[in-house]
A and B are shown apart, each in its own frame.
Chain A
Amino acid sequence: MSAPTHNLSRRGLLQGIGSGLVLGFSLPALGNGIPAPDTTIVLGGESGEAVHLNAWIRVAPDNRITLRMGAAEMGQGVFTSLPMLLAEEMDADWGSVTAESAPAHKDYRRGSVAFPVKVQLTGGSESIRGYWDVLLNAGAACREMLVVAAARQWKVNPKDCQTASGVVRCGDKSATYGELAAAASKLNPPRKPTRKSPDQWTLLGTSPPRLDLPSKVDGSAVFATDVKIDGMRHGVVLPCPHYGGTLQSHDAAAALAMPGGVQVFHYPDEIVVVADSWWQAKKASEAVVVVWDPGEGAGLDDARIDALLMTALDGKTHTISNHGRFLGEVAQGIVESTYGVPYLDHCTMEPMSCAARVTADRCDVWVGTQNQQGSVKTAAKLTQLNADDIYIHTAFLGGGFGRRSEVEFVRVAVQTARDSGTPVKLIWTREASMARGAYRPAVRCRMKAELGGGTVQTLQSWLAAPNIIARFAPDVLANSKLAAEPAIGGLEHTPYALAAVRSEYARVNMPITVGWWRSVQGSHNAYFRECFLDECAEVLKRDPIALRRELLANNPRFLHVFNTAVDAAGTLPEGQSRGTAIYASFGSIVAEVADVSVSSDGELTVHRVTAAIDCGQVVHPDTVKAQVMGALTMGLSMTLYEGLSFKDGAAQQLNFHTHPLLRMAQAPQVNVVIVPSTEPPGGVGEPGLPPVPAAVCNAIFLATGKRIRQLPVGDQLKA
């Protein structure tokens, strides 16, 4: 495969338009104002005039097949797994397949699992699930068109033709897809293409090398930070550090006198400094004298945050679920504990970055975004242009994890390009990136269990947290059960055989921006529930593994996943302790086993984490393993080290010396087992994260007798 080209002008497939061959269904109507397929990422090239068979697929005379991806590649492998869906049904030769990013356009939307809308948004571990039928159908339709084209040419019945590896055959006749594409593109696509049954798959379920990786080991992959545009200037952002605050005054005189043609733009929420080079902009930004008004953020510190959350926990809560009968006075024992987690930043390794160019009749945005649709809307509003005149060029994302579903960095780049009159590329400093995030909310949760008959009988949870959806929805929706889901989901029901489950939610309003952080509520609720279950096991004097097996006895799919993880973990080495946890999220079930040791001076070592995942039908097993490994490693980082503290509504940890992240020396060995399944596909990017904190903290308890009820673990074992 050749290196990806970084092409910022409209690309060659307009050539195909000129030759009048584009007739495929759901193809963007090129040339009448809808975004051209002008992409930032093109993996591999093609020669000659490629022909579109539909919005997703084009075939070149040299048989190269380019598949366009509506989802963004942020490391989760969709630039390989989604093309596999198309290639499988097309019977394409995988070796001739390349991928590129699609423009923001309604044709590239998918159904959402979580909400009843169609979106071009990469998140919610939904790419495979959301594009499953769309891409399998598109691939199958394409195959049928190629077959019909061949059959007409040979004057044979299409039913007598076979396809394999990019070739149509009938008797002794054969033609490649490249030879047939032009004729096929003139056919009407079938309304109901015939798809393969899973036992006919030859590509799905295998692990071809990821298409994007060559560009990621030779440095040629293009992230938004790497974009180059003619006449581009460079910018640095000074965001208001206080959530709820605003710009009070600033003096840019010294900055404007510095080299590099410095410009300073000020907005209510930030100051942007632009210069000929990023470093000149950075140096000039240090010379800007700014006074921020902390506004609503005044006085908001850790003690105040804790008080707000705990007061809400003790105050009026909304009942989210209440099933079954509680034991009340006949309970043979009660266990009650309160847990807490802090605000968390995503810490994507690529700081926020976006380039933009605004002219009278169009706006181009180069950005690593999970939210193409939101980026269009943001740019259209700022430029007063029609959505059709906004061109989003999706670059690779240097980490997404939910952070790049936000569009505030697109807003800042577009408004700066608009106001400066030149194309600009903004790269946030690490400090700026962390100061204005969309954090995982701080949460407090009280859990109560009734015991009886030597087991756990009922479970109740009271949870207080800021609401993620409130920012996107009117108040009437923000108080709904739907809006409570990203806070309390996973506690409103459990996989366990319990007589009764009840969950209560208290929404806490704070000016700190909260958003979607990898696995969302799973990042805390699995920790609360699964650690608390181990607390119950302790009171019951039961082995936590045996107790889980008993409570999952009537839930065979969960039990099998749990047993698979425990079996795969094997014999526990002497001197180590083993914790377990199981949690389902995003349509998949994950159990994890953590083997740890704690030295006499409180030094924790997480030696090994074993995970089992049932994510239904698997497209690319190696990517599933990589995602579970990555998610649990990120989850371990959060468990051990991460959390933001605040002063006057401003985050106090803004770079990695005060905000450590897990490094290789602390990274455990990881073993991921995929449980074979014929169920519909589940999500993969996030479900590996939630069980980690509980598995690790449960192991810590067995090693030390110390319950970790507040994350991160930090220095708690040293006390």
Chain B
Amino acid sequence: MIKLSINGQDHEVDVAPDTPLLWVIRDTLGMTGTRFGCGMGLCGACTMHMGGNAVRTCILPVSAAAGMPLTTIEGLDNHVVQDAWLKEQVPQCGYCQSGQLMAAAPFVEAHAGQEPTDAQIGAAITNICRCGTYDRIRKAVRRACKALPAPPSAAPPIGGTGARRRRTTQWH
């Protein structure tokens, strides 16, 4: 059995240790908001947070995620990026957008109160969107950054930026 901590809840799963985290979350635990796109870590549709960092989970063995604090789109929980995505009406088909949001959230938290450039956003968020929503994603990212107060010190504590209105993630 492998122990997982997802969105603040503990789970035990009986799967082969080389099973990618993505498929454990989707098929074993039934949370389908995180999506499969390429199976090679190339497109980012499967992005989740592990220890607060965005990771591509279609190539991450579940054994490597054991005991780590994990967040999926279901646990993003009214994050400022979700609000900005709605205000800018970003998604089209929506399939890649869970991954886009999960990739954007740590970037936004790290740029609270700032106005990052197109180049900064493009370098940090490399997920593919076939519908071509990139220009709106950049606008939404900047909107979300602005919506967060700049931290008093240069280095915000992990998970402590106030980005989530209701934080359910347990940080170990």
A→B interface (CB under 8 Å): 74-77, 209-210, 212-223, 225-226, 228, 234, 259, 277-280, 283, 347-351, 396-401, 427, 429-431, 622, 626-627, 629-634, 637, 655-657, 661-670
A661-B39 contact given A217-B91, A349-B45, CB 8 Å threshold: no
The complex places the Cα of A348 from the Cα of B45 at a distance, in Å, of: 12
Q: Closest A-chain residue to B81, C-beta based?
A: A217
- Which A residues are CB-close (under 8 A) to B36? 225, 351, 427
The complex places the Cα of A75 from the Cα of B92 at a distance, in Å, of: 4
- Which A residues are CB-close (under 8 A) to B5? none
Would you call B93 and A349 a contact (CB within 8 A)?
yes
The B32-55 residues at the A interface (CB cut-off 8 A) are: 32-40, 42-43, 45
Q: Chain B at the A interface: mostly helix, strand, loop or mixed?
A: loop
Q: Can you list 26 A-B contacts (CB < 8 A)?
A: A213-B89, A218-B76, A219-B32, A220-B33, A221-B94, A277-B19, A277-B28, A280-B16, A283-B16, A349-B35, A349-B93, A349-B96, A350-B35, A396-B95, A398-B93, A399-B93, A622-B89, A634-B131, A634-B132, A661-B128, A663-B122, A663-B127, A664-B127, A665-B122, A667-B132, A667-B135
Number of A-B contacts (CB under 8 A): 188
The complex places the Cα of A431 from the Cα of B42 at a distance, in Å, of: 13
- Which A residues are CB-close (under 8 A) to B27? 234, 277-279
The complex places the Cα of A375 from the Cα of B107 at a distance, in Å, of: 42
- Which B residues are CB-close (under 8 A) to A666? 122
Would you call B135 and A669 a contact (CB within 8 A)?
yes
Q: Write out, one digit per residue, whether chain B residues 2-25 have a CB within 8 A of any chain A CB (1) or not (0).
A: 000000000000011001100100
- Which A residues are CB-close (under 8 A) to B28? 277
Would you call B33 and A219 a contact (CB within 8 A)?
yes
The complex places the Cα of A75 from the Cα of B137 at a distance, in Å, of: 15
User: Which 6 A-B residue pairs are closest in the complex by CB-CB distance?
Assistant: A219-B33, A633-B132, A398-B95, A75-B92, A216-B94, A665-B122
Distance from A85 Cβ to chain B, minimum over Cβ atoms (Å): 19
Q: Closest A-chain residue to B96, C-beta based?
A: A349
Would you call A664 and B126 a contact (CB within 8 A)?
yes
- B155 interface hit (Cβ, 8 Å): no
From A217, A657, A661, contact of B97 by CB (8 A): A217
From B31, B40, B86, B130, contact of A348 by CB (8 A): B130
- Which B residues are CB-close (under 8 A) to A212? 91, 94
- B30 interface hit (Cβ, 8 Å): yes
Would you call A219 and B122 a contact (CB within 8 A)?
no
Distance from A708 Cβ to chain B, minimum over Cβ atoms (Å): 21
Q: Closest A-chain residue to B42, C-beta based?
A: A656
Distance from B46 Cβ to chain A, minimum over Cβ atoms (Å): 11
Distance from B67 Cβ to chain A, minimum over Cβ atoms (Å): 21
From A427, A430, A631, A633, contact of B38 by CB (8 A): A430
The complex places the Cα of A349 from the Cα of B94 at a distance, in Å, of: 9
Would you call B94 and A218 a contact (CB within 8 A)?
no
The complex places the Cα of A351 from the Cα of B3 at a distance, in Å, of: 30
Would you call A664 and B137 a contact (CB within 8 A)?
yes
- Which A residues are CB-close (under 8 A) to B89? 209-210, 213, 622, 626
A279-B19 contact given A223-B95, A664-B126, CB 8 Å threshold: yes
The complex places the Cα of A630 from the Cα of B90 at a distance, in Å, of: 11
The complex places the Cα of A213 from the Cα of B9 at a distance, in Å, of: 27
The complex places the Cα of A74 from the Cα of B82 at a distance, in Å, of: 20
Distance from A223 Cβ to chain B, minimum over Cβ atoms (Å): 6
The complex places the Cα of A223 from the Cα of B35 at a distance, in Å, of: 10
A626-B34 contact given A213-B94, A277-B28, A349-B43, CB 8 Å threshold: no
Q: Closest B-chain residue to A668, C-beta based?
A: B135
A656-B40 contact given A225-B35, A226-B32, A349-B129, CB 8 Å threshold: yes
The complex places the Cα of A555 from the Cα of B33 at a distance, in Å, of: 49
- B145 interface hit (Cβ, 8 Å): no
- Which A residues are CB-close (under 8 A) to B19? 277, 279
- Which A residues are CB-close (under 8 A) to B20? 279
Would you call A669 and B93 a contact (CB within 8 A)?
no
Q: Write out, one digit per residue, whether chain B residues 61-105 have a CB within 8 A of any chain A CB (1) or not (0).
A: 000000000001110100000100110011111111110010000
- Which B residues are CB-close (under 8 A) to A632? 132
Distance from B36 Cβ to chain A, minimum over Cβ atoms (Å): 6
The complex places the Cα of A212 from the Cα of B92 at a distance, in Å, of: 9
Would you call B101 and A217 a contact (CB within 8 A)?
yes
A629-B132 contact given A75-B92, A219-B34, A655-B38, CB 8 Å threshold: yes
- B163 interface hit (Cβ, 8 Å): no
Q: Closest A-chain residue to B62, C-beta based?
A: A279
